[in-house]
Amino acid sequence: MSRIAVHRIPVLQDNYSYLIEDTQEKTCVVVDPAEAGPVNAAIEQLGLKPVMLWNTHHHADHIDGNPGVLDRAGSIPVYGSAGDRGRIPQLTHFLQAGDGLEFGGDMVRVLEVPGHTRSHVAYYLPSGHLFSGDLLFGYSCGKVFEGSMEDMYRSVAQVAQLPDETLIYCGHEYTLNNRCFAETVEPDNPDHKTRAASETAPPTVPLQLGQEKKTNPFLRWHVPAVQAFTGKTEPAEVFGELRRRKDNF
């Protein structure tokens, strides 16, 4: 039986930070603290002891709470991408693809998922949890700022290979805003109506990977209707055209 429990913490306007709790040890990992105040308050309320901090990428709305969390937690290790050395000042451990961490009885796998930034990482717990930062959102994916469209396609395709039951803990509550574009891409997709009936208000996170595969166009580059919308058939080109059109939607 899994010892993992995940606590979602709303921060800023539409961000999420997370606490991953080991329910047996009453310890936790802090993930992407955008603000220290709400995160520290949740730690206190839940009676947890922080033992690690994980960052997915260097953007301010994912790391600005690092100093305040560390002030409270003391000298705990801070993990992030090796490529973010110097861009996340608090990092103490520099990760690459395939590196493993252990928490709560899970051997956590580090995934390199560049595209949104050149050094984005995600953390996959085999008990069924993916902490994906700004890689994937409900019905969509992150904007491509530092990497290439090909990078982002490969990163999303990597996540698509995980089990359908995987729960995706993303960095923002964007699902309802993204739905309209997805429905424009596939207006005849019956799964959109089913999903819309169950998601009428936030929070919509965690997302389920299997549901995203049915409704998120950025995971449906192989579907004829999506290819027809983009006028492309090669997977990375379909993906890139979707992202360009979403950027201008």
Type of residue at 231: G
**Residues with active-site annotation:** 57, 59, 61-62, 116, 134, 172
The torsion defined by the Cα of 116, 117, 118 and 119, in degrees rounded to 10, comes to -110
Give the gyration radius of the chain's Cα atoms.
18
DSSP, collapsed to helix, strand or coil, labels residue 118 as: coil
What b/e sequence results for 75-98 when a residue is b if at least 16 CB atoms lie within 10 Å of its CB, and e otherwise? eeebbbbebbeebbeebeeebeee
Q: How many CB atoms lie within 10 A of CB 182?
A: 24
In terms of Cα–Cα distance, which of 186, 181, 189, 196 is closest to 243? 181
β-strand 78-81 against 93-95: which pairing, if any? parallel
